[in-house]
Structure 1
Amino acid sequence: MDKRLQAFQQLLDIMDELRAKCPWDKKQTLESLRHLTIEETYELADAILDDDLEEIKGELGDLMLHIVFYAKIGSERGAFDIADVLESINAKLIKRHPHIYGDVKAETAEQVKDNWEKIKLHTGKKRVLSGVPKSLPAMIKAYRIQDKVKGVGFDWEKPEQVWEKVLEEMEELKNEADTGASQKKLEEEYGDLLFALINYARFIKVNPENALERTNKKFVKRFEHLEKQAKKLGKDLKLMNLEEMDVFWNEAKKMEH
């Protein structure tokens, strides 16, 4: 037997046994697993950003377990089993890749994406944005919304146009802040600015979620260096001024290059 199929069959067998014998596994439901799946997905996302291949392998295994777990529960309820899950994605991939399995032409990745969106609109999804999950984090959701509407031609033509929109939204936010606008109005204008910046990121082919998370990691690393150095000198951060802190902060920046 193919090594891959053998390993997958073993996972299915283990799942059957755990579901039958383990008190914790027997107790789980689709809903009880949901937050754990979200957590595992974020752990995989962290490993990907760190380019830690060993960790990625482990996290993929965790997610694979969750998929098998959901399928097991589905089979117990007579709704679907793992074969149904796999057959469903196989059929979807074949249908949405007519340039591979049909006679449609698509020479670029952009053409493939455009075809994909058109196919989805003709296979039950009558609204362009119906495929964007409601529970997505706001930044990822904004990126997906913009990418979706692009598929039907609702988009700027050049990055320069988007940047002009960013500057316009920035000016509007500044004006509202300077004139003492309400918190609700400031939040609205700030949201407009973020939406425009995310759109600009899309135009210059930067994933805003990844970019921000890398900046988060960079900040944490620098601040931890600051804390470590302050502790070495027996200093309390709360009693240090910004100028003193900047010395260690700049040290951390230099260490990155």
Structure 2
Amino acid sequence: MNTREQQLQAFGRLLDIMDELRSKCPWDKKQTFQSLRHLTIEETYELGDAILNNDFEEIKKELGDVLLHIVFYAKIGSETNNFDIADVANTISEKLIYRHPHIYGDVEVKDEEEVKQNWEQLKLKEGKNSVLEGVPKSLPAMVKANRIQDKVAGVGFDWEKPQQVWEKVQEELAELNAEIEKGNTNAIEAEFGDVLFSMINYARFIKVNPENALERTNKKFINRFQYLEAEAKKINKSLQNMSLEEMDVFWNASKKIYK
């Protein structure tokens, strides 16, 4: 591993490169906060993929891409005299110190849950009117639901036991089935949303990240389906011309490979 001096030199090198690109590269010159936004989101998802794959080489590369964006935004901010990279680093440093009084102050905590509760209480003291203000509106719905539940739990609005949450899941499923029997489209969608919300909440109680769990299943399904396609091609058949029974033979075989 590199020394702290080497780490700082590497970061300084990146800042120098960013300065040069911003002054000389036609593409880099044109970028704004708005033009970079969608690219930053894309890079974040690519980092997420690398983490799910447990690919450390890719994680390193994708972290570099995300870091580049942070440096890029700071460079643009410095050109308008709003902030620079030092302001960005100092702001997060001060926030971390303030929100960790059990490390930098005399507050005592017994576990992770108390840390989270203190964190949310401190955020309210900073002037926020709601613990949910920090949940980005543009988050994907599943991630947003998870963050909402996590945040309200931080101020004590939560179930006490996993069994209570599971019973809520069963209750929401029963309400969904009742609306399906009635054929009320709007109510079905609403109740289906309640089922998903309660399942995401249950995932939190059993220590499962629902986004990671679903993406894991997505990848497993893709691998199995592509195996099915490849095996069908080997016998010169298209899936459209195969019966479900024929496809099931390859599908069941894929389950032994992709678990």
TM score, norm. by length of structure 1: 0.98
Listed as ranges, the gaps of 5+ residues in structure 2 are none
Give the superposition deviation at 1:106: 1.5
Matched residue, 2:187 = 185
Residue from 237, 240, 244 that aligns with 1:238: 240
Give aligned pairs, total: 256
Residue from 218, 237, 257 that aligns with 2:220: 218
Structure 1 residues 1-257: aligned runs within 5 Å = 2-182=5-185, 184-256=186-258
Equivalent-residue separation in structure 2 for 1:88 and 1:128 (angstroms): 20
Give the superposition deviation at 1:152: 1.5
Cα displacement string for residues 132-188 of structure 1 (whole angstroms, at most 9, x for unaligned residues): 111111001101111111111111111111111101111111111122112x22111
The RMSD of aligned alpha carbons is 1.0
Give the superposition deviation at 1:75: 0.5
Equivalent-residue separation in structure 2 for 1:3 and 1:122 (angstroms): 38
Equivalent-residue separation in structure 1 for 2:164 and 2:62 (angstroms): 40
Amino acid at match of 2:147: R
Cα displacement string for residues 54-73 of structure 1 (whole angstroms, at most 9, x for unaligned residues): 00000000000000000000
Runs of 4+ in 1 over 6 A off after TM superposition: none
Percent of aligned pairs sharing the same letter: 70
Equivalent-residue separation in structure 1 for 2:42 and 2:258 (angstroms): 30
Equivalent-residue separation in structure 2 for 1:29 and 1:81 (angstroms): 15
Equivalent-residue separation in structure 2 for 1:249 and 1:191 (angstroms): 30
Equivalent-residue separation in structure 2 for 1:146 and 1:185 (angstroms): 23
Equivalent-residue separation in structure 2 for 1:213 and 1:106 (angstroms): 34
Equivalent-residue separation in structure 2 for 1:191 and 1:95 (angstroms): 37
Q: For residue 133 of structure 1, give the secondary structure of its aligned residue in structure 2.
A: coil
Amino acid at match of 2:227: H
Give the superposition deviation at 1:111: 1.4
Amino acid at match of 2:239: L
Equivalent-residue separation in structure 1 for 2:175 and 2:202 (angstroms): 17
Equivalent-residue separation in structure 1 for 2:9 and 2:151 (angstroms): 39
Amino acid at match of 1:197: M
